[in-house]
Structure formats: structure tokens, C-alpha cells
Structure 1
Amino acid sequence: MEVYKMTNKVLVTGGTGFLGIQMIFQLLNKGYDVRTTVRSLKSKAKVLATLEKNNVKNIQLLSFIEADLSEDDHWEEAMSDRDYVLSVASPVFFEIPKDEAEVIRPAVEGIIRILKAANRTQVKRVVMTSNFGAIGFTNRDWDSVTTEKNWTDEHAKGLSAYEKSKLLAEKAAWKYIETEAKDLEFTMVNPVAILGPSLDSHVSGSFDLVKNIMNGTMKQMPKLQLNVVDVRDVVDIHIRAMVTPQAVGQRFIASADGMISLPEIAQLIKKERPQVAGNISTKTMPSWLLKAASYINATAKEGQFMMEMNRNVSNAKAREILGWTPIGTKEAAVLAAVDSLLAYQLV
């Protein structure tokens, strides 16, 4: 079996993001030479300050380059001399576009831009971050197990523009690899809702769910099941996928074991973090009420869509091929997110 030596040079796209900065943190601690892209070099000081505050090692091995997913400039320069690219960055939207094409097109164009640059600069391997929305959002058979063989139906009613953009970007990436870049090693990581600890006040969108439970915004909770994962586990899968020979051409679901419902999250926080228990509702929403509301309310419609989704999700492939084991339980990932929200006064 071929064994890779630890090569030192990695490009992480989107170094200011919640996942991107965690990626940089772990890579530096492991001794990698890391370059990261930022949309503006004005972000450099904030990234460095966050890493130093968290006692990162080898910060002298970190460099920055300005590059934007929507433009060709600097991508080949960013990848010159790099062995690996961890493609974490996603297009940023400050408002929800009225036309889903405004979300989908930049996502597809962005990943193809990265793959073309990687192919031209002879990068060894690209590991791309997609999400579970590309895999399991339309598997409604609760007697089955959702694995990396599943694909979300892009035509499903109720699929959000964001999830659809991730799905179509991933499909476009695989097609490009198969038709135009057969020598470029490529691997996909598909995380479920990312929680866990944050290195600074910038958290993932998944934290909003926890935040809404903590601050009492969610007065009644549907018995909606979720899959969650610690951000450190997502990073670990990326790094293992980067260096494991058998990972080439594979997708990997990043998820803690099992599932956890919104009412269970509320009860967990009330019990383990009693200082915030006063705001938390433990009332559950009857399923019929959510379904009725879904016909007239966009949030309820999304909730109903999620309720029907099979949450029997397998992380066996990452365990078997990558030798990965989750750092903690789904409950620990939730509580680490709670602690970060409290520490950075985000709730």
C-alpha cells in the first residue's frame, strides 16, 4: 500500500470562516505550511489575533493571499507550490436572493474556478467541503440508512436555494474531475449541522438553532430530529481525507453518532447549563400544527421538509477508510456550542 509522507504545503480557502479558521488552527498545530485566501487582506490581523489568542503553534508557517471565489485573480498564485487544497470557502450573501440562480451560479462557478486553478498548477489533491444537503435531504425512508451513496433530488419541492447550490456545485465538481481533470485527486466532505467550540465570535449558521432555543425565541419546538457534528471532527476528516490514499474519488459524511431532536437539545441545555434555563421553553409543537402552518409560513414549510427527512445517518465510511473517530458525542457538540455562544456574548 502506498504511504504518503506528510507534505507541508496546504492552501485553505476562506480563512476567515468558522470552519476555515479551525482548519488553519489544526494544520498549524500539526506543523503544516499553510497559506489561506481571504477576500481582503484587511482580515489578516483578525485571523492572526484569533489564532494567537487560542495559543496556536507554528504561526510563522501561515501566509495570506487575497482571492475571491467570484474572480479569477490570484488563484493560480495562491496554489503555486501547494501540495493540497482544502476548498472550504463558499460564496457570501448578505441577503437571501429572490432568484435561486443568484445562489447556485456563484457556488458552481466558484468550485470550478478552484478546480481549474488546481489542475493548471498541478496540485496533488483537492478536498472540497460540500454538506449533507447534497446527500440526504430527500431520503424519506426511515427504515433505510443514509450513506454517501445517496444523492438529494435537486427537483424536490421545499429544498432551499442554499442546499441546492451545494448539491449542484458538488455535481459540477465531480463532472469536471471525470471529464477534464482525471489526474487531479479529489475528495468530498459532507458535514451535517456543524456545532462544537468556536475560536472567536464568528460562528456557523447552525448555531442559530441553538441560539433560538437559548434565548426563548423558539416558544414551541417541533419534534424535529437533527444530525450534528463537532467542528473539530469536520477538520479532522478533511485532513485525513487529504493524506489517505484510499480517500481519492470518495465522499465522506461528517457526523457524530446518532440523532438529537430539538426538544432533547432544549432539555439538555436546561439540565447542563442551568444559568440559561429560565429562557428555554420545553413545549413541543404537535406535528399536525407544523404541517398546517407549512402551507402559509416559509419557516414552517422548511421545518416540515426537514421533519420528513431520514436521520438514520451513517458515518461508517469515514471510520473505515480514514480511521476517524468522533471527538465526542452529539450532546458534547451542542454544549460546546452553547459555551461559545455564552463566552462571546452572542445570546
Structure 2
Amino acid sequence: MSKKLVVVTGGSGFIASHIIAQLLQAGYAVRTTVRDVEKKRPLIESMLHQAGIQNLTDLSFVAADLTNEAHWDAAISGATYVIHPASPTPTLNFKNESEMIDPAIQGVLYVLRAASRHDVKRVVLTSAYGAIFAGHQHQKTPFTEEVWSDLTQPGVHAYQKSKTLSERAAWEFIANDSSKLELATVNPVAVMGPVLANDYSHSNIQIQEMMTGQTPLVPKVDSGYVDVRDVASLHLLAMTRPEAAGQRFLATTGETLSMLEVANILRTAFPTFSKKLPKHEIPTPALKLAAKTNPMLKMVASVAGTYAATSNDKAVQLLGWHPRSAKEAIIATAQSMIDLGIITVK
């Protein structure tokens, strides 16, 4: 009996690589899309070996770009499921918000249209916490999947707009689709956990910068944190469980930590790095002032001082998902970076 094929978009991504590892362990055949197979295949194979997957005979590669709709029929043909973590590479230093928003929406629609044409059973879209929390300045109860970012409010960053509008476009597509295609979304908070190569996500970069003394002060930003291995397992549950169809799932431990608390977790776990880790916060007014002339600070400044509590009750109750603690996820990030030589003791 042939194995069910799952297409995972953007296989070199941090979340995608862990999803592929868990799918292969669970006995699926996996086809992953990348823009350049020759360039990315060795990286992805190396990452999967790092994740403990030695046998890659059930893994195949196909070139597909989220900015080109013509690529997606060949990429998705024959798949039972599609997991879509990939997003067109955003630039934080954009001239116009549409540079970030339009490709995100179009990429999602290209994948969904192809999935509909090829009788895919279900697509699991990796959305984001950014599609939930933004524009809610007066929130006082933990964010749940019922909440959508309010883009009518001032100060919502284009990244959050792109995540919100692309997920809304996905649900609108499904509502009007005449095939039997199902959709579920996973909306992770800041994703931590073991990095598998030098190629890792923005959330992990903050750990590297803290551990190497590049962050003398941290902004007053509260966040939820979740381990990438648990984000991957939630995607698999969202893919296979009947009750997950048509649902959004917040991937969070339910804990909320400030960046200074993250630094203190690292200080306790890795005392040799203690002197490099930040001990103080930058006042929010000073951060917002600096962001006016530094585009790279705009997204951080937009969320400084905002309420960030989240609930994982839905994923826990409906799917039986039980994530590791935020502390374990944060420590695993740093330890993997030390093991790979990304962070070194000097």
C-alpha cells in the first residue's frame, strides 16, 4: 500500500523542517517545495539528519515559487494533504505595505486553488498570532482563536496585516470553494526550540543576540512562547483529526514572558553567558522614538507595552495537544545554537 503524500511548502524553513521530520517519522511520504532544489536540498537533508531522521527515501523535492501560480499544479498533484508554512520572504525595510501584504495573500491563494483542483483532502495553513492580537489596545482577557486582529486601528504593523489578510483570504476561499477541500490554521506565538542549521527564524535570532551580548537593553515586550516541535505536532493533529477541519488553533503554552524574563531564564541555565545577557529594559518612549528613524525597530515598537496573554484551551481540549513549557523551549533554542557552534563561549 502506497504511503499518503503530504506536500510541505518551503521545506528549509524553521517550522517546516520540523514538520517534515515528524511526518517522515509518522510514515508519510513528503514532497517539499523550495525555490531552488539544487541549493536547498543539501541544507534540508542536513537539517533532517540533525533532527534524527536518517532515512530520507520518502522525501522528494520540487521547485515552486509562491510568486508564480504556474508552479503549483505540479507541486501539489497527487497529495492527500498540504501543509503550508511558507510565506514569500518579507522585507522589514519596505517602501509600501503592499510589498509585504500582496505576495502573502497571493501565495496562499495559489496553493489553495491548486489544492482544490487536485482533490486534496485538507490544507493546514501556518498563520500567526499576528492575525489575532494586533489592534486590541484594551484587551484584558487572554487572546483566543475567536479574536481577529483589528486592522482599522492605527499602528498595526504591515507584517501583522499580511498575516491577517492572507488568513482571511484563505477562509474566504474555502467558504466559496465547490470542492470538498478542508482548511485548518495554526497560529503560533513566538516559536523557540532546537534550530537545525544556521538558517533559523526571527524569534531565535533574539536568543542568539542576547547570548552574544548584542542586546544590552531589551524592549518591554511581553510574548507567548512555544517549542517548534510542538508547533509541528499541532500541524499534524490539525491535518489528521476530523474535528480540526474548519478550525483555527493558537499554538502557545499559555504562558506570557517579558524579554527580560527570557534573558533571566538563559542566565540561570547558561551561567557562563551571564555577563553578556541583558539585565535592563529600554523605556518604551525611547524605543518608539528610535523606531521613527530605524525601520528595523518599527515592529518591536508597535507591540511594546501591549497585553499578550494567550490561551491554548482549544488545542488542548479538542485535539489533546500538550506543549512543553516556554522555559524548556527557550533553553532548547540556546542549547542547539551552542551545539551547532552558532553561539560560542569566548
TM-score by length of 2: 0.92
Deviation at 1:164, TM superposition (A): 1.2
Counterpart check, 1:32 vs 2:28: yes
Name the CA shift for 1:161/1:287 in 2 (closer, same or farther; >3 Å).
closer
Deviation at 1:297, TM superposition (A): 5.6
Query: 5+ unaligned residues in a row in structure 2: which ranges?
Result: none
Counterpart check, 1:332 vs 2:315: no
Q: Which residue of 1 aligns with 2:108?
A: 111
Q: Which residue of 2 aligns with 1:207?
A: 204
Secondary structure at the counterpart of residue 73 of structure 1: helix
Q: Which residue of 1 aligns with 2:83?
A: 86
CA contact (8 A) 2:135 2:152 kept: no
- Deviation per residue, 1:58-78 (Å, 9 max, x gap): 421111111111112331122
Counterpart check, 1:273 vs 2:282: no
Name the CA shift for 1:27/1:261 in 2 (closer, same or farther; >3 Å).
same
With 41-50 and 23-32 compared, the bigger mean Cα shift is at 41-50
Name the CA shift for 1:294/1:16 in 2 (closer, same or farther; >3 Å).
closer
Name the CA shift for 1:217/1:313 in 2 (closer, same or farther; >3 Å).
same
Secondary structure at the counterpart of residue 70 of structure 2: coil
Q: Distance in 2 between matches of 1:294 and 1:96?
A: 12
Deviation at 1:299, TM superposition (A): 5.7
- Deviation per residue, 1:4-26 (Å, 9 max, x gap): xx972211011111111111111
Deviation at 1:166, TM superposition (A): 1.0
Q: Distance in 1 between matches of 2:234 and 2:5?
A: 18
Query: 5+ unaligned residues in a row in structure 1: which ranges?
Result: 1-5
Deviation at 1:302, TM superposition (A): 3.8
Which of 172, 182, 185 is matched with 1:185 structurally? Answer: 182
Q: Which residue of 2 aligns with 1:262?
A: 259
Name the CA shift for 1:144/1:92 in 2 (closer, same or farther; >3 Å).
same
Q: Distance in 2 between matches of 1:288 and 1:169?
A: 31
Q: Distance in 2 between matches of 1:162 and 1:61?
A: 35
What are the residue-to-residue correspondences of 1:135-214 with 2, within 5 Å?
135-181=132-178, 183-214=180-211
Deviation at 1:92, TM superposition (A): 1.5
CA contact (8 A) 2:100 2:162 kept: yes
Structure 1 runs, 4 residues or longer, greater than 4 Å off:
287-301
Q: Distance in 2 between matches of 1:299 and 1:201?
A: 21
Name the CA shift for 1:289/1:321 in 2 (closer, same or farther; >3 Å).
same
CA contact (8 A) 1:137 1:309 kept: no
Deviation at 1:140, TM superposition (A): 2.8
- Deviation per residue, 1:256-300 (Å, 9 max, x gap): 131111111111111110121121220233455446656666566
Name the CA shift for 1:23/1:117 in 2 (closer, same or farther; >3 Å).
same
Q: Which residue of 1 aligns with 2:310?
A: 313
| 1:10 aligned partner, one-letter code | V
Q: Distance in 1 between matches of 2:287 and 2:168?
A: 32
With 247-256 and 160-169 compared, the bigger mean Cα shift is at 160-169
Q: Which residue of 2 aligns with 1:240?
A: 237
CA contact (8 A) 1:127 1:188 kept: yes
Deviation at 1:346, TM superposition (A): 2.8
- Deviation per residue, 1:26-77 (Å, 9 max, x gap): 1101111111111111121222233234431542111111111111233112
TM-score by length of 1: 0.92
With 41-50 and 299-308 compared, the bigger mean Cα shift is at 299-308
Give the alignment's Cα RMSD to 1 decimal.
2.1
Q: Which residue of 1 aligns with 2:11?
A: 15
CA contact (8 A) 2:220 2:305 kept: no
- Deviation per residue, 1:99-138 (Å, 9 max, x gap): 1111111110000000000000010000000100001122
Counterpart check, 1:44 vs 2:41: yes
Give me the identity figure in percent: 37
- Deviation per residue, 1:223-272 (Å, 9 max, x gap): 32111110001101100000011111110000113111111111111111
Q: Distance in 1 between matches of 2:138 and 2:90?
A: 33
CA contact (8 A) 2:223 2:309 kept: no
Which of 319, 337, 345 is matched with 1:341 structurally? Answer: 337
- Deviation per residue, 1:303-347 (Å, 9 max, x gap): 443134321200110111111000x21111111111122223334
Secondary structure at the counterpart of residue 339 of structure 1: helix
Q: Distance in 2 between matches of 1:179 and 1:331?
A: 42
